[in-house]
Amino acid sequence: MNAEGKKWLEAKLAAIEALESYAPEKTIASVAKDYGLSPAAIVKLNFNENMYIPRGKIAALLREVAEECDLRLYPQEEEEQLREAIAKYLRLQPEYVAVGNSSDEVMDRVTRLFLGKGDVALTFTPTFSVFRYCVQYNGAEYAAVPLQKDFRLDVEGLRAAFTSKTKLLYLCSPNNPTGNQFASAEIEALIEDFPGLVMIDEAYGEFAEYSVVPLVERYENLVVLRTFSKAFGLAGLRLGYAVANPALARAVNKIPAPYAINVASLTMGRKLLENVGMVQAAVAALKAERGKLISKLNEIRGVEAFDSQANFVLFNTRRSCDAVYVDLLKKGVIIKKLGKLLDYPNCLRATVGLPEMNVKLLNALKESLGEMHEERGSV
């Protein structure tokens, strides 16, 4: 490489190094090692995975996939079959669906296709951080309007930020990390007035009161992101999709490299949709447990837990969240530390686990906050 090339490469690498991306989080193995614990004793409640989908069921379906699919071949009809299955599940036509390697990947694709240098991507804060990273990777500008103190949308604040440069509005609903779902009338008002695309992230849609998916038949500028990682318990296989009117869905489906999504993930998605009753039963069980968990959290002195329409619960603690977080790690409970959010200085987020996992969380929290009374059995 010549001197000019070296200079260019150095500058390029420094710019890439400065880009933000998802920071590595604690894993079961890292916590076991750091605190001398048995991996089997650790409960992982930091990533909003769904433990209500039986692991054995996923393994059995994957064995079927291995038998039925010839993995020596490139994908053939599997993507089309999955789009048809998703469309049936959502009561839409397959033309409204574009599938991807996780909803994060579809989000990245939408930002790459629709945002250019000089464009502004708008959202609110606090919300899911991956959107900010996607925007910054594309050299676009990121702007965020704070939510109201009670986590409702500041519709007027958002409207005031609309300009001829705001080309993408990201609304995560139910929102990660606050857990609330926004009012559909407010969402529709924003879709109608926004001078660009509105991307609504419904990663937690199945745990919520309603879905914005039917709105895609009405609004040409709406794209809804959905995933198999949460309700369907398939986070490890990375499968997500976008729902939008056919012209927009076709655009989102356009990718330069062929066969991006592997046959195993595509076929597993279809098989889970064929077993949607099992998924719905798991979601119902999780939602029942979520209500109990929120009540039990609020019974702990020094904890304020917020209502949730997702598979996680946000709470603020009287004690420093740094101290509480480490106390929990020492007891083998991994949750997500968020710090200050709006008016709440010590925010933490915990996935709704199976009953015995939640008991472990509650006991560890009580100890950390100075309440030693032991919780037994199911919450």
Ligand X SMILES: Cc1ncc(COP(=O)(O)O)c(C=O)c1O
Q: What are phi and psi of 205, to 5 degrees?
A: -55, -40
Q: Pick between residue 228 and residue 325 the one whose CB is nearest to ligand X.
A: 228
Q: Which of 78, 79, 119, 201 binds ligand X (CB under 6 A)?
A: 201
Minimum distance, C-beta of residue 163 to ligand X, in the bound complex (Å): 26
Residues 150-189 contacting ligand X, CB under 6 A? 172, 176
Q: Pick between residue 290 and residue 296 the one whose CB is nearest to ligand X.
A: 290
- Classify burial at 322, counting beta carbons within 10 Å of its beta carbon; exposed 0-12, middle 13-18, buried 19 or more: exposed
Q: Pick between residue 201 and residue 289 the one whose CB is nearest to ligand X.
A: 201
Minimum distance, C-beta of residue 51 to ligand X, in the bound complex (Å): 15
Long-range contacts of 109-113 (CB under 8 A, 24+ apart): 109/252, 109/255, 110/168, 110/197, 110/199, 110/223, 110/225, 110/242, 110/252, 111/135, 111/137, 111/138, 111/140, 111/168, 112/138, 113/251, 113/252, 113/254
Minimum distance, C-beta of residue 342 to ligand X, in the bound complex (Å): 18
- The CA distance from 186 to 174, in Å, is 14
Q: Pick between residue 103 and residue 309 the one whose CB is nearest to ligand X.
A: 103
By CB under 6 A, residue 48 contacts ligand X = yes
Minimum distance, C-beta of residue 231 to ligand X, in the bound complex (Å): 11
Tokens linked to 6: 């070296």
How many residues line the site for ligand X (CB under 6 A)? 13
Q: Pick between residue 211 and residue 227 the one whose CB is nearest to ligand X.
A: 227
By CB under 6 A, residue 252 contacts ligand X = no
- Classify burial at 277, counting beta carbons within 10 Å of its beta carbon; exposed 0-12, middle 13-18, buried 19 or more: exposed
Residues 121-140 contacting ligand X, CB under 6 A? 128
By CB under 6 A, residue 276 contacts ligand X = no
Residues 56-115 contacting ligand X, CB under 6 A? 102-104
Residue with tokens 């001398």, as numbered in its chain: 36
Q: Where are the alpha helices (DSSP H) in the chain?
A: 3-18, 28-35, 55-68, 78-90, 103-114, 130-137, 155-160, 184-193, 246-252, 263-274, 276-299, 321-330, 355-368
Q: Which of 113, 189, 235, 264 binds ligand X (CB under 6 A)?
A: 235
Q: What are phi and psi of 329, to 5 degrees?
A: -60, -40
By CB under 6 A, residue 227 contacts ligand X = yes
By CB under 6 A, residue 145 contacts ligand X = no
Minimum distance, C-beta of residue 315 to ligand X, in the bound complex (Å): 17
Q: Which residues contribute to the site for ligand X (CB under 6 A)?
A: 48, 102-104, 128, 172, 176, 201, 203, 227, 229, 235, 240
